[in-house]
Chain A
Amino acid sequence: MTFPITPRNIVAALVVAGLLLLPLYSQLTGNIFILTLFTRIVIFALAASSLNLIMGYGGMMSFGHAAYLGIGGYAVGILAFEGIGSGFIQWPVALAVSALFALVIGALSLRTRGVYFIMITLAFAQMAYYIVSGMSRYGGDDGLTIYKRSNFGGLINLSNRVQFYYLCLGCLFGGLYLIWRIINSRFGLVVQGVRSNEQRMQAIGFHANRYRLVCFVIAGTICGLSGALLANNTDFVSPAVMYWTRSGDLMVMVILGGMGSLFGPVIGAIVYLVLEELLSQFTEYWAMIMGPLLLLIVLFARGGIMGLLGRLRLG
């Protein structure tokens, strides 16, 4: 596999280098805030990348993807609350529960297509939201404070900012590598084939929905991981992380960066969250600028930022 020098790859490489060197910059300048901000960005980039796997490559427009953020987070939070602090138990449970949830709602939702699919995934996420809001033992609406981050023995200390940042970054790169392997595998090609023409794939003998479902479960599991990271990052988990506007945020990140390009969601997450941060420093009413900006991006920049870069020519 060679990487030709195109504007897209140059930007991707710069972003990777920037993310890797960020703690160094933060250390040198004493700017701790930027590390905190980017830890959050990296976590959301992982969640958005997992959404990109089903939305961009699988053609499944899930509007309930934030549910897994909450499920992964609550798996960590509830286990910590019940006195099980080991990450070796918390994280596998978070992944397993996310996978199970994805399996159940995927099996039901994939009976529908198009807008109905958007709506049914939204409905299931809202159901999960209300279930979590109703768990009064675990804080209900107010959320659950996590007093101790996941404990991985002597392996890694999540309370150390830099170590935690690199853990998140490792998860992001690992997730991207996994997605890259998936989309270039036979399985991934079938999934993309189903996106382009389901009938034709059915006709040549592929069980379209089975492939879609597996893809849906993989994406849910990866997003569950970012949920576990997010809960550790904020030391807190509340139903608000799975509210439908959160799912909307994730969708925005994917489309902003460029749906169906491996690195697009990462750039989308960076641009969206950094813009939110900058605008909110500039004015309290940042959403008044962000909203129309999204509208303009949809109207004039199809294919997101990666799409724009793809149209650029060097020299």
Chain B
Amino acid sequence: MLVLVEQSLNGLQFGLLLFLLAAGLTLVFGIMDFVNLAHGSLYMMGAYFAATFVAWTGSFVLGALLALGATLLLGMALEFIALRHLYGRDHLDQVLATFGLILFFNDAVRLIWGPAGLALPLPAWLTVPVQIIPGVYYPAYRLSIIVAALAVAALLYVVVMRTRLGMLIRAGASNREMIGALGINIKLLFTLVFGLGAALAGLAGLMQAPILTVQIGMGENILILAFVIIVIGGIGSIRGAFLAAIFVGMIDTLGRAFLPDLLRKVLSGAAASTAAPALSSMLIYLLMAIVLVVRPEGLFPAARR
């Protein structure tokens, strides 16, 4: 029971983190119709910036804020220099170009920070376990990730649904040409949205950094997960991304935690220990395949153009 609560919280935390990544991806995809494979690189850059700035300033919070700003600027610069020329092009061109960016970022990081991973140490006040319900302790840092991510999700909801910027974003998602014709500076809007997405990816990266090591290629696995999420949730839908992210985070974490034991009850010991790791890694891809076969547009497709 205790393990179940703890693993569910881990699943929730992982899911929320994935949401931050997927939200940026789905915003950029929904509004600019742009497939950004380099989103995982921005996640990686967020983590590297954080490790550097935290070591530099000596303060976790200050370093994290600086890293967030740096990723935002990096994303906007990237959009301004290269990616804006790819809007309206074939998805395949975008895949190829951003694949090139992944290559670039991985080697640039290797050049600047070296091939070895970095560690991002936590301040003492975040390492203590917190008693959430009597008898159940949970690491304060993971708890703070859940709180922070939920706050960002709520903020994103308010921004997208309740502000003028959000109105423009939603309008852009449903008809790009039209809001351009209405006199909105669409280029600026796109740059802002891309920067927002980059900052969300950077936030996910820097929050994940203390749990895992900061290393080259860290963005690639999680990028695929984020794509799985936006495909399950329906491309362009933030609500769909949120629900699918929690779903995927839970299934992945709980699958890894409990599937080996479950399999051992059904299969012989040797067969179970062979099948379990592969099966639990496959679980979400299996889920995605099922969703796409049953509902080819995802679970919560955004309104059609």
Say if the beta carbon of B82 comes within 8 Å of chain A: yes
Chain B residues positioned under 8 Å from A135 (CB to CB): 274, 278
Chain B residues positioned under 8 Å from A130 (CB to CB): 278, 281-282, 285
Say if the beta carbon of B137 comes within 8 Å of chain A: no
CA distance A149 to B191 in the complex (A): 54
CA distance A190 to B97 in the complex (A): 31
CA distance A291 to B37 in the complex (A): 13
Chain B residues positioned under 8 Å from A299 (CB to CB): 82, 85-86, 97
Interface residues on chain B, size class: 35 or more
Looking at the complex, which one of A61, A122, A293, A298 makes contact with B224 (CB distance below 8 Å)? A122
Looking at the complex, which one of B85, B277, B292, B298 makes contact with A134 (CB distance below 8 Å)? B277
Say if the beta carbon of A5 comes within 8 Å of chain B: no
Q: What total of chain A residues lie within 8 Å of the partner, measured CB to CB?
A: 47
Say if the beta carbon of A295 comes within 8 Å of chain B: yes
> Chain B at the A interface: mostly helix, strand, loop or mixed?
helix
Contact A252-B231, Cβ < 8 Å, known A111-B292, A122-B224, A291-B107: no
Contact A298-B104, Cβ < 8 Å, known A123-B289, A126-B285, A244-B224: no
Chain A stretch 20-53: residues in CB contact (< 8 A) with chain B: none
Give B85-100 as 1s and 0s: 1 = Cβ < 8 Å from A's Cβ atoms: 1100101110111011
Chain B residues positioned under 8 Å from A302 (CB to CB): 93
Chain B residues positioned under 8 Å from A293 (CB to CB): 100
Say if the beta carbon of A152 comes within 8 Å of chain B: no
Say if the beta carbon of A186 comes within 8 Å of chain B: no
Shortest Cβ distance from residue A229 to the other chain B in the assembled complex, whole angstroms: 25
Say if the beta carbon of B243 comes within 8 Å of chain A: no
Interface residue stretch chosen among A82-90, A170-178, A205-213, A280-288: A280-288
Shortest Cβ distance from residue B221 to the other chain A in the assembled complex, whole angstroms: 9
Chain B residues positioned under 8 Å from A133 (CB to CB): 277-278, 281
Looking at the complex, which one of A114, A124, A291 makes contact with B102 (CB distance below 8 Å)? A291
> Chain A at the B interface: mostly helix, strand, loop or mixed?
helix
Shortest Cβ distance from residue B62 to the other chain A in the assembled complex, whole angstroms: 30
CA distance A48 to B220 in the complex (A): 23
Shortest Cβ distance from residue B288 to the other chain A in the assembled complex, whole angstroms: 5
CA distance A298 to B281 in the complex (A): 34
Say if the beta carbon of A147 comes within 8 Å of chain B: no
B91 near A115: Cβ-Cβ < 8 Å: yes
CA distance A255 to B64 in the complex (A): 39
CA distance A269 to B251 in the complex (A): 39
Shortest Cβ distance from residue B48 to the other chain A in the assembled complex, whole angstroms: 16
Chain B stretch 270-300: residues in CB contact (< 8 A) with chain A: 274-275, 277-279, 281-282, 285-286, 288-289, 292-293, 296-298
Shortest Cβ distance from residue B128 to the other chain A in the assembled complex, whole angstroms: 36
B104 near A287: Cβ-Cβ < 8 Å: yes
Contact A112-B111, Cβ < 8 Å, known A119-B228, A123-B228: no
Chain B residues positioned under 8 Å from A134 (CB to CB): 274-275, 277-279, 281
Complex: chain B residue closest to A134, CB-CB: B278
Say if the beta carbon of A137 comes within 8 Å of chain B: yes
Say if the beta carbon of B213 comes within 8 Å of chain A: no
CA distance A248 to B288 in the complex (A): 20
Looking at the complex, which one of A112, A114, A131, A251 makes contact with B96 (CB distance below 8 Å)? A251
Looking at the complex, which one of B97, B220, B231 makes contact with A116 (CB distance below 8 Å)? B231
A298 near B278: Cβ-Cβ < 8 Å: no
CA distance A126 to B286 in the complex (A): 10
Chain A stretch 121-162: residues in CB contact (< 8 A) with chain B: 122-124, 126-127, 130-131, 133-137
Chain B stretch 96-135: residues in CB contact (< 8 A) with chain A: 96-97, 99-108, 110-111
Chain A residues positioned under 8 Å from B277 (CB to CB): 133-134
Say if the beta carbon of A103 comes within 8 Å of chain B: no
Contact A291-B292, Cβ < 8 Å, known A116-B297, A127-B285, A133-B278: no
Shortest Cβ distance from residue A259 to the other chain B in the assembled complex, whole angstroms: 8
CA distance A160 to B85 in the complex (A): 49
Say if the beta carbon of A292 comes within 8 Å of chain B: yes
Say if the beta carbon of B196 comes within 8 Å of chain A: no
CA distance A11 to B230 in the complex (A): 43
A245 near B220: Cβ-Cβ < 8 Å: yes
Give A257-299 as 1s and 0s: 1 = Cβ < 8 Å from B's Cβ atoms: 0010000000000000000000000000111101111110111
Contact A123-B285, Cβ < 8 Å, known A116-B296, A291-B107, A299-B97: yes
Say if the beta carbon of B31 comes within 8 Å of chain A: no
Contact A252-B97, Cβ < 8 Å, known A112-B296, A120-B292, A127-B282: no
Contact A111-B274, Cβ < 8 Å, known A287-B103, A290-B103, A291-B104: no
B97 near A294: Cβ-Cβ < 8 Å: yes
Binding site for A on B (CB under 8 A): 29, 35, 37, 82, 85-86, 89, 91-93, 95-97, 99-108, 110-111, 220, 224, 227-228, 231, 235, 274-275, 277-279, 281-282, 285-286, 288-289, 292-293, 296-298
Known A130-B285, A286-B107; further 5 A-B contacts with Cβ < 8 A: A108-B293, A126-B285, A285-B110, A291-B105, A295-B82
| 20 pairs of residues in contact across A and B, judged by CB atoms under 8 Å | A108-B293, A112-B296, A115-B231, A116-B296, A116-B297, A118-B91, A119-B228, A119-B292, A122-B227, A124-B285, A124-B289, A126-B285, A131-B278, A248-B99, A252-B96, A255-B96, A287-B106, A288-B103, A297-B96, A298-B100
